[in-house]
Amino acid sequence: MSESKVEATDHGMVAEFTTVDSLLAACRRVRDAGYIKTDAFTPFPVHGIDKALGIKPTILPWICLVAGITGTMTALVMQIWMNSIDYQYIISGKPFLSLPAFIPVAFELTILFAAFGAFFGMWALNGLPKFSNPVFTDPRFDRATDDRFFLYIDSSDERYDEEGVRALLGETGSDYINKVVEDESPKQVPKFIYSVWALSVAASIIPLLCVLTMRVTNSSKPRFHIFPDMDFSPARDAQQTTSLFGDNRAMRPDVPGTVARGQLSGSMEALTGIDFDALTAVDPGAAAQLVAAYQDEAAGTTTPPAEPVDDTPWLDHIPVTVDEALLARGKQQFGIYCSVCHGMSGLGNGLVNQRATEKQFDTWVPPSNLHDTALYSETYPDGKLFSTITNGVRKMAGYASQIEVQDRWAIVAYVRALQLSQNAPLDVVPAEKQAEVKAAVEAAKENLKRQEEAAAKAAAEREKEQN
Ligand code: HEC
């Protein structure tokens, strides 16, 4: 019992030196004698003391690196999971998994984790927090912060034996060698620490109480704004009003007759679908003829034409390159914008039409069947079809604001392909496929004949039964 008490109070041996060189020499001796649990205390950093004591370089940078990499990974996994898997949300048209957008958070977390790694790693490696060190009990140790150098050998070292250590330290030329014993001063925490602690806890609750009172009380005064321009942005939201313009609209319509920068894609022909060369070459007498025709009509001497004549010189071709990509784009855009009314196949039986028919809306005008031969390119030029999509026609609205010029031409190309798909001459089919197509047509005709015969037979039988 008494022996263990002696051991508990014996912490090691400390030796005092007056110069750096004598300390370094002592350190080397102690290191060479095989002691590991040693430490040196100096008033200022002494270069080479780690080596003299045989202290290995710290592993703190590695802890820092691993923590930093963990931070990067945490940020990336978190953002990839949130933005590209769990809650996909289009932000500024960026892809869901957009690494450049993830950099700020990844950078911040890398720094944060690395700093935590360095800070807490340092604590752990140093065995902190440690409120007191037994060497502090030595009466002369205070001078370690002033003009003395101390070497300490811990009693937990394998080689430690009191007499041997005392002899070794004596050989190093130290004048003062002392045993380090347990601190005998009372272990109670001073009362004032408790008071300070209680006061700070109480003070830290004040902001929380303020927030809580704000939440449960009412006030007739406006809220306090620390940054008013962040709460009240002068930029308007969609559909809001503004006093800047006479019509009070914050959303400004396009200025008539202008084209926004970068929106003028291609020629006037591609933008309008009208053949401008032909337009300028129009017979100047045509206008006079038109006026005469109307005068005749008013006088009742001629019958007016049943259909108003469209004499716009429409473009008779598609002014952009037609290739597979354009057709694919046209198919996609047709599926998005046109198929709801005109149907995927263009027959005019889209879902909106089906629903309107089912509801029997009497104002409903059914969408045109795009396979009507009157809409073929011979009588309905490409430019006119483009203009129909752009400006609308009779009951159908225009799509200029939703569909880009290039995409409108893509739809024109696709509508042509659709039309061809229902009414193509045999010679557009590759020669080796023609026989196959012919056979299919024959089979379909056979099938139709058989169905008609069966129907006729059934009708005859029903008639017989009734008689
Ligand atoms: C909301 C339904 C609706 C959508 C969507 C729609 N259309 Fe129409 N479309 C109509 C109706 C209805 C008519 C017939 C208008 C009339 O006769 O008053 C029509 C007529 C047409 C005609 C015949 C025009 C003529 O001069 O006779 C064409 C061609 C046409 N649409 C193409 C398209 C294309 C291409 C799209 C896709 C960009 C499209 N439509 C989208 C309802 C629609």
> Is the link from the previous residue into 253 a cis peptide, with omega within 30 of 0?
no
d(CA 455, CA 217): 83
* pLDDT computed for residue 434 by the predictor: 86
* pLDDT computed for residue 296 by the predictor: 62
Q: In the structure encoding, which two tokens stand for residue 119, read together?
A: 């800070």
d(CA 83, CA 72): 16
Is the pLDDT reported for residue 1 higher than 50?
no
- List C-alpha distances in Å: 121 to 38, 61, 107, 288, 324: 21, 9, 21, 96, 62
The residue to mutate among 337, 347, 368, having the most atoms of ligand 1 within 8 angstroms of its beta carbon, is: 368
Q: For a pLDDT cut of 90, what percent of the chain falls above it?
A: 47
Mean pLDDT within 411-417 = 95
Is the pLDDT reported for residue 332 higher than 90?
yes
Based on the number of CB atoms within 10 Å of its own CB, is 14 exposed (0-12), middle (13-18) or buried (19 or more)? buried
Q: What is the DSSP letter of 82?
A: I
The per-residue pLDDT for range 185-203, each reduced to its tens digit, is 777 888 999 999 999 999 9
Top-confidence residue, 334 or 253: 334
CA-339 nearest atom, ligand 1: 5
The per-residue pLDDT for range 280-298, each reduced to its tens digit, is 666 555 555 555 655 565 5
Q: What is the largest CA-CA distance in the chain?
A: 141
Phi-psi region of 66 (alpha: psi -120 to 50; beta: other; left: phi over 0): alpha
Is the pLDDT reported for residue 6 higher than 60?
no
Q: Whose CA is nearest to atom 1 of ligand 1?
A: 341
Q: Whose CA is nearest to atom 12 of ligand 1?
A: 367
What residue ranges line ligand 1, CB within 6 angstroms? 337-338, 340-342, 352, 365, 367-368, 370, 375, 385, 388-389, 393-396, 399, 411, 415
* pLDDT computed for residue 281 by the predictor: 66
Q: What's the pTM value of the predicted model, to 2 decimals?
A: 0.45
Ligand 1 centroid to residue 343 C-alpha, Å: 11
